[in-house]
Structure 1
Amino acid sequence: MRTPHYAPLLSLVALCAFEPQAQGYELYNENDGGTVLNAELWAGFGWFGSSENYLGDPQREPGSMRWQEGFAKYGLSGTTDQIAAGSIYGGFSMISTGSWGDGDAGALTAGNERETAVEEAYLGWKSADLIPALGTDGVDFSFGRQIVTVDGFLITDDGFAPGNAFNPIEGVADGRFNRGGAFYLGPRLAFGNTAVLKLGGTQGLHGSLIWLKSDNPGQSKTEVAAATVDYTTPIGSIGSTYVRGLDVEERYVFGDRGERKGMDIYSIRGQGNAGIENADFAFEVARQEKRSGSQRAMFFDAGYTFADVKWQPTVSYRYTRYSEGWDFLFQGGFRKRYQGEVAVNYAGSVTSNMQINDVLLSVMPTDKLTLNAMAFDYHQLSRRGEQDFSAREVDFFLDWMVTDNITLSPLVGFYKPEKWLGNGGNQSGSASTNTYFQLIAWVSF
């Protein structure tokens, strides 16, 4: 069985970020915002092409693939402070997803996936000024199906969305891991069941207690508990995360996923400008304790925006390193900053046994147009009989807000692996440069 690979990962710092989200259409507003009900729509459709594929099957033809992905998320959200103390908020949404064409170049979708299901269904309570020592809304408790994100790279969301072609268990091809397509777009972000308690607001000393139960077969329906503590000032924050693996569903266990039960993860992280105007820094150092031993991962990111220069160019550098048996856990989807396009999504696992250097250049000719270029160097730390995913990649992409509700995001990338399927790599046919393109249209109301 070849090493499986995963959806767009590692949402670290929002330097070049574009994250289209539902803005909300106000249906009801009473008492000047005391009670508000919004209708929300977020949708996307993408056209994708790759001149090479990573199917990992010598019997399949090497060469180009073309496919499409789409989704629509639609629902209601609201809040009210017309109660005895604090305010109540909540939301409910459905999501429809699909993939068409050849299926993706990494053999996760077959192009025949379609699914409509509940995405979010959650309720929450905020304390307002009920507990002055904790500040305004110093207690925030929510539960249900919702998106949960922790600063750093351990828990971003539950966005991994394989399809019918994803068969990580030897001899299993029954579609049990199918999540309805739209693998690259990855819009199924909510965890199946959650309980989240946040204390202390967002400034000074604050923290959280979290319980998550994924209903994602591609995540082996992992259940975890987590705790965070942070200290935030105007120039940045420093914090720590602890994650305890509680359980997995054996029917969906593959690779080392069985070790998630009983796994402990500890991390120290930070982000901010360190008092340097227009600068941006972030880091995290994490350690996993599993039955098979200790694993480590870390990243460091530094960027600067030339705010007084025409087009406000941003330059940043990021270094990332994962040890050989690192478990990527819930490192997320299409948000903030990528670890690459072809390498992360299709060409192999870059979230273990890998060292990555990448550089970003971003400029804004107008407030509605952002141009970006990124270069990546992937160096596999150890072969030890595994496939070698060492490679280089360059991506050029832009985000153009055509209207307040429609954004276009075209991209072209060039990926050059050191190895191919015939000599220890994963690219079919040869180790020649793969030309990859995509065009995504985002709609939000």
Structure 2
Amino acid sequence: MAWAILASGAHLWSTRNYVGDPEKEPGSMRWQEGYAKYGLNGTTDKIIAGSVYGGFSLLSSGTWGDGDAGAITAGNERRTDVEDAFLGWRSGDLLPALGKDGVDFSFGRQLVTVDGFLITDDGYNPGKAFNPIEGVRDGRFDRGGAFYLGQRLAFGNTAVLKLGGKEGLHGSLIWLKSDNPGQSKTELAVGTIDYTTAIGSIGSTYIHGLDVDEKYAFADRLERKGMNVYSIRGQGNAGIENADFAFEVARQEKRSGSQRAMFFDAGYTFTDVRWQPTVSYRYSRYSEGWDFLFQGGFRKRYQGEVASNYAGSVTSNMQINDVLLSVRPTEKLTLNAMAFDYHQLSRRNERDFAAREVDLFLDWMVTDNITLSPLIGLYKPEKWLGNGGGQSGSASTNTYMQFIVWATF
């Protein structure tokens, strides 16, 4: 068994807000977030067949100050709760036909990620200000603050069976039940199949919506019950050294009709050039009624700091182009620049979220345990709250800044 502590604190500031409240226009907002996750995990190899593993942790979190710029948190959220509580078994060499650890079964409260962009985690972390149901401000969606840091990632209850290891033909059968009110406590059944080689993998995901809690259902969440999602995806270097490619094409079938989403990204790292620059491009597109499910960043790559967190939906009715440039002056310092163009596909919605954004940030590993991550973002919407957009005050450029300290022990 091993003890582990993960902690982070952030100071965030935005010159504009997206709360949709005339009394708060056009005011800047300042707030702070923090969390600490502490627990133990381990693996026992010395049993008759295979190995047993598991983990248990608690997570404490909070938000202070004005609350975030998107009216998700109010600034007075605090909570300590169980984060992880799971057990698992891996087969080791017991079933050689299925490869090393060809059977891996786990259950309980744990983080589950499916390759691609449909299920990343259960990390959506609303606070007391979140009010998706008209007239409801009773805190029923509150998860304890730290909306941006968002480290309540585990699904409330799961059962995961993985077959075939990680090479060649392999797949999984997954049951997920979220206890997140911001996700309407959705319950899903998931199946995946993949074929993985040294140059990459190709695979498919199927998702069937089993249930939602009607008490927390809003927008089109009731359609998750009975919804089917199909996707084809791939990732790897395609045999090109230092290259990186990924894509996914997905289709949702629900009561209101069919919806589609897709992304493609391609990148290359110049390993023989000073500072080893990485350049990548990503294209993504979501139809008007697309349900983002448990989607996070594409392999933890945000769709823009302001756009994806505060300014409005970027995972429905949107086409996005973005580029990333990253350099590493030292092994412990990475400098990054990202630029985004958001094009709204349909103008029938009440709000127009078309915009452009540039984010500049760095990750500096000061010690083996401490990392600093300052960021400045510039977000320029086409419209503001007064003429059909979402930004307060005007459509002028919003300057957004954050400073995060990450610690691991």
**Structure 1 residues 117-138: Cα deviation after superposition (integer angstroms, max 9, x where no partner):** 0000000000011111001100
CA distance in 2, matches of 1:385, 1:219: 22
Per the alignment, residue 16 of structure 1 pairs with none
Deviation at 1:84, TM superposition (A): 1.7
State the alpha-carbon separation in 2 of the partners of residues 172 and 332 from structure 1. Answer: 26
- Give, in whole Å, the separation in 1 of the partners of 2:338 and 2:253: 33
Aligned pair partner of 1:433 in 374, 397, 400: 397
- Select the residue among 81, 96, 111 that pairs with 1:132: 96
Residues 184 and 334, structure 1, Cα contact 8 Å, conserved in 2: no
SS at match of 1:331: coil
Superposition pairs for residues 362-377 of structure 1, below 5 Å? 362-377=326-341
45-54 or 382-391, which deviates more: 382-391
Q: 1:406 aligns with which of 370, 395, 402?
A: 370
Ranges in structure 1 where 5+ consecutive residues have no aligned partner: 1-36
Indicate whether 1:230 and 2:189 are aligned. Answer: no
1:332 aligns with 2:296: yes
Residue in 1 aligned with 2:15?
A: 51
State the 4+ residue runs in structure 1 displaced beyond 3 angstroms: none
Please state if 1:72 is matched with 2:36: yes
TM-score by length of 1: 0.91
Name the structure 1 match of 2:211. 247
Kindly indicate whether the alpha-carbon contact (under 8 Å) linking 2:91 and 2:102 is maintained by their aligned counterparts in 1.
yes
Between the aligned partners of 1:332 and 1:92, the Cα distance in structure 2 is 24
What CA distance in whole angstroms lies between the structure 2 residues aligned with 1:106 and 1:193? 29
SS in 2 for 1:157: coil
> Does 55-64 or 44-53 show the bigger shift?
55-64
The alpha-carbon deviation at position 82 of structure 1 amounts to 2.1
* Alignment-derived partner of residue 66 in structure 2: 102
After TM superposition, give the deviation of residue 333 of structure 1 in Å: 6.5
Q: Give the match for residue 313 of structure 2.
A: 349
Q: Would the aligned equivalents of 1:119 and 1:188 in 2 still touch at CA under 8 Å?
A: yes
Correspondent of 1:200 among 131, 155, 164: 164
Normalising by structure 2, we get a TM-score of 0.99
C-alpha distance in structure 2 between counterparts of 1:214 and 1:94, whole Å: 17
SS of 2:276 mapped into structure 1: coil
Retained in 2: the 8 A contact 1:159–1:189?
yes
| Residue identity in the other structure for 1:248 | V
Report how far residue 57 of structure 1 moved. 1.6
Report the CA distance shift for 1:334/1:270 in structure 2 as closer, same or farther (over 3 A).
closer
CA displacement, residues 182-235 of structure 1 (integer Å, 9 cap, x when unaligned): 000000000000000000000000000000000000000000000000000000
Q: Indicate the residue corresponding to 1:168 in structure 2.
A: 132
Aligned to 1:115: 79
Classify the secondary structure of the residue corresponding to 2:120.
strand
**Quick one: distance in 2 between partners of 1:425 and 1:132?**
58
Greater length-normalized contact order (CA 8 Å, ≥ 6 residues apart):
1
User: What letter is aligned with 2:14?
Assistant: S
Q: Does 1:281 align with 2:245?
A: yes
Partner residue, 1:299: 263
AA aligned opposite 1:84: I
Is contact 2:116-2:299 (8 Å) kept? no
Compute the displacement of 1:435 (Å).
Answer: 0.3
Q: Distance in 1 between matches of 2:77 and 2:299?
A: 23
Match of 1:190 in 2: 154
What is the CA distance between 1:261 and its match in structure 2? 0.2
- Aligned match of 1:39: 3
Give yes or no for contact 1:378–1:390 (8 Å, CA) kept in 2: yes
Question: Would the alpha carbon gap of residues 261 and 176 (structure 1) be closer, same or farther in structure 2, given more than 3 Å must change?
Answer: same
> Displacement, 1:74?
0.2
The residue identity in structure 1 corresponding to 2:42 is G
Q: Which moved more, 1:55-64 or 1:269-278?
A: 55-64
Task: Flag the 1:335–1:283 CA change in 2: closer, same or farther, 3 A.
Answer: closer
Counterpart residue number, 1:29:
none
Give yes or no for contact 1:113–1:164 (8 Å, CA) kept in 2.
Answer: yes
RMSD value, Cα: 0.9
* Paired AA for residue 197 in structure 1: L
Letter in 2 for 1:49: W
C-alpha displacement of 1:319: 0.2
Q: Which runs of 5+ in 2 are unaligned?
A: none
1:360 and 2:301 matched: no
Percent of pairs with identical residues: 81
**How many angstroms apart in 1 are the aligned matches of 2:240 and 2:198?**
11
How far apart, in 2, do the equivalents of 1:50 and 1:120 lie? Answer: 33
Residue in 2 that maps onto 1:152: 116
Aligned AA for 1:373? A
| Paired AA for residue 254 in structure 2 | K
User: Residue deviations 1:148-184, cap 9 Å, x none?
Assistant: 0000000000000000000100010000000000000
Q: What letter corresponds to residue 74 of structure 1 in structure 2?
A: Y
Is the CA contact 1:94–1:116 (under 8 Å) kept in the aligned structure 2? yes
Contact kept? 1:157, 1:333, Cα under 8 Å: no
Query: SS state of the match for residue 23, structure 2?
Result: coil
Amino acid at match of 1:89: Y
Q: How many residues align?
A: 409
CA distance in 2 between partners of 1:269 and 1:226 (Å): 15
